[in-house]
């Protein structure tokens, strides 16, 4: 059983985090963007399967093995630094995705140098990155929507529960955020590329697995949240926050 710590810390909770200097926020931001890029561009395009007892064969997007870590980052950022800092991280991640997509399209449309090896390499690049624009578009719409729903719900629940029941707040907010994400991503990214039945099946399995991932990660997330709150001397409550998703100011 995970023990809740008293959320009443010695520092003022209502002070805007924008007025503070943080030691670890930049590292969290880099980790978030790295996970987001790799899971969307490397893993999302492959449908994998696994044999499980009772459930039988389950098909899922390979990126699911790592993508849920980005939601854990979102929970940590919102819980420690507040909604606005998580919102900024989301926009940074999307900017990185767009640049990666543009770069991949430039690379695959350049004429390859002569030679059999380069021809095979070109075919491989086209196979891996040829549909990148759809994956990125699906990621932008789905993850932007889902992650901000996750952050909003977590921030509001933190106020409602006065900082208590972190495990319940993380699981509840992630369940809603992932529902939005999973409902949008595979339809936008893979409709008419994969069979419709496969798209729906993978989306459902993805939602179940990603939410389960969050539950399993709760003990680790607890430790990171506790560490950051102590080291940063911050435990922000979003009483005065402007939740406009299009704002970048923190």
Mean of per-residue pLDDT scores for the chain: 84
Instruction: Tell me what the mean pLDDT of segment 20-30 comes to.
Output: 92
Band the pLDDT of 132: cuts 50, 70, 90.
Answer: low
What radius of gyration, in Å, describes the C-alpha atoms of the chain?
A: 20
Q: Is the pLDDT of residue 46 over 90?
A: no
Predicted confidence (pLDDT) at residue 101 exceeds the cutoff of 50: yes
For residue 59, the model assigns a pLDDT of 67
The answer to which of 128-132, 192-196, 219-223 has the lowest mean pLDDT is 128-132
- Rounded mean pLDDT, 29-37: 93
Give domain status of residue 2, yes or no.
no
Separation in Å, CA 36 to CA 43, 66, 191 = 10, 9, 21
CA atoms within 13 A on the CB side of 246: 0
Which CATH number is 122's domain given?
Answer: 1.10.1760
In a domain, 107, yes or no: yes
Residue 250 lies in a domain: no
Residue 3 has pLDDT above 60, yes or no: no
Side-chain-facing half-sphere of 247: CA atoms under 13 Å: 9
pLDDT at residue 55, as a whole number: 66
State pTM to two decimals: 0.83
Range 210-235 average pLDDT: 93
Backbone angles phi, psi at 22, to 5 degrees: -105, 145
Q: Are 185 and 142 in contact (CB under 8 A)?
A: yes
Angle between helices 132-160 and 83-109 (to 10 degrees): 170
> Is 204 inside a domain boundary?
yes
Which H or E run includes 57?
A: strand 56-61
Residue 160 lies in a domain: yes
In a domain, 183, yes or no: yes
Q: How confident is the model at residue 9 (pLDDT cuts 50, 70, 90)?
A: low
Locate 48 and state its tokens. Answer: 């994998």
- Would residue 246 count as lying in a domain? no
| pLDDT over 80 at 17, yes or no | no
Asked if 96 and 37 count as a contact pair (C-beta separation under 8 A), the reply is yes
Range of the domain at 155: 17-232
144-196: pLDDT as tens digits = 899 999 999 999 999 999 999 999 999 999 999 999 998 898 888 888 888 88
- Is residue 9 in a domain? no
The total number of structural domains in the chain stands at 1
């Amino acid at each position: 059983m995970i023990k809740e710590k008293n959320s009443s810390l010695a520092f003022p909770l209502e002070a805007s985090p924008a007025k503070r200097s943080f030691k670890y926020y930049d590292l969290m931001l880099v980790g978030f963007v790295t996970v987001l890029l790799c899971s969307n561009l490397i893993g999302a395009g492959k449908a994998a399967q696994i044999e499980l007892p009772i459930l039988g064969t389950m098909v899922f997007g390979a990126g699911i093995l790592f993508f849920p870590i980005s939601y854990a980052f979102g929970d940590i950022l919102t819980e420690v630094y507040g909604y606005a800092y998580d919102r900024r991280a989301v926009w940074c991640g999307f900017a990185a995705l767009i640049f990666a997509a543009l770069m991949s399209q430039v690379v695959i449309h350049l004429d390859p140098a002569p030679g059999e090896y380069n021809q095979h390499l070109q075919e491989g690049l086209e196979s891996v990155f040829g549909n990148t624009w759809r994956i990125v578009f699906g990621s932008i719409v789905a993850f932007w929507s889902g992650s901000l729903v996750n952050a909003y719900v977590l921030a509001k629940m933190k106020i409602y529960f006065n900082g208590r029941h972190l495990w319940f707040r993380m699981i509840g907010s992630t369940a809603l955020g992932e529902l939005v994400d999973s409902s949008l991503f595979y339809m936008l990214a893979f409709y008419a590329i994969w069979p419709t039945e496969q798209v729906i099946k993978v989306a459902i399995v993805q939602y179940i697995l990603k939410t389960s991932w969050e539950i399993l990660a709760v003990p680790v997330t607890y430790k990171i949240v506790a560490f950051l709150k102590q080291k940063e001397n911050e435990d922000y409550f979003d009483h005065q926050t402007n939740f406009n998703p299009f704002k970048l100011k923190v």
